[in-house]
């Protein structure tokens, strides 16, 4: 039987992946860092003054215009009700 190149590719092991992204808060933080590497900036007014709030997921609320944004707003994951850790695991399998 030949070796499956996808199954044996270099990268994170399942254990390493779960340590890095196994908890919902870890997935949310990873998405926020990937989306805003220099820190959050309001997509409407470009303000960097923000308050954090929760509505199921973390929300960034602009202190100038009041716009609220989550890490998944404006992405293909925006309307999902699934936990992010499940979405991340399904991406690895595909």
The answer to whether the pTM exceeds 0.85 is no
- Between 1 and 31, whose confidence is greater? 31
DSSP-assigned beta bridge partners for residue 61: 51, 68
What lies within 8 Å, CB to CB, of 31 at 6+ separation is 71, 72, 84
The total of other beta-carbon atoms located within 10 Å of residue 65's CB is 11
Q: Residue 90: pLDDT band by 50, 70, 90 thresholds?
A: very low
Question: Domain ranges in the chain?
Answer: 36-93
């Amino acid at each position: 039987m030949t070796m499956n190149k996808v199954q044996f590719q270099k990268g994170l092991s399942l254990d390493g992946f779960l340590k890095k992204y196994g908890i919902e808060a870890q997935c949310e933080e990873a998405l926020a860092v990937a989306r805003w590497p220099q820190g959050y900036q309001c997509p409407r007014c470009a303000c960097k003054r923000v308050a954090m709030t929760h509505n199921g997921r973390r929300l960034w609320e602009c202190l100038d215009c009041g716009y609220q944004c989550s890490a998944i707003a404006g992405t293909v994951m925006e309307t999902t009700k699934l936990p992010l850790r499940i979405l991340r695991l399904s991406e690895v399998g595909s």
